[in-house]
Amino acid sequence: MALDTNIQEAFDFSLFGGLDKNGNIKKLEGKEAITNALKSWLLSKRGDYIRRPNEGGFLYNWLCKPMSDYNTKRILSSLQIGITYTFAPRIIIETLEVIPNYGRKIYTINLTGIVVNYGVKINFSQDFKTLV
**Up-side HSE of residue 83: CA atoms within 13 Å toward CB?**
30
Rounded Cα distance, 102 and 130, in Å: 10
Domain of 31: which CATH number?
3.10.450.40
Rounded Cα distance, 102 and 125, in Å: 18
Does some domain include residue 83? Answer: yes
Q: What average pLDDT does the structure give for the chain?
A: 83
- Rounded to an integer, the average pLDDT of 3-14 is 52
47 or 80, which is more confident: 80
* pTM for this entry: 0.79
pLDDT on residue 75: 96
Q: What is the pLDDT of residues 63-121, one digit of tens each?
A: 999 999 999 999 999 999 989 988 888 899 999 999 999 999 999 999 999 998 888 89
Does some domain include residue 5? Answer: no
Range of the domain at 50: 11-129
- Rounded to an integer, the average pLDDT of 39-48 is 81
H or E segment and range at residue 28: strand 27-29
Cβ count within 10 A of residue 109: 21
User: Percentage of residues in the chain with pLDDT exceeding 70?
Assistant: 82
How many residues are listed for the chain in this entry?
132
8 pLDDT higher than 50: no
Does some domain include residue 41? Answer: yes
Does some domain include residue 4? Answer: no
- Rounded to an integer, the average pLDDT of 9-17 is 63
9 pLDDT higher than 90: no
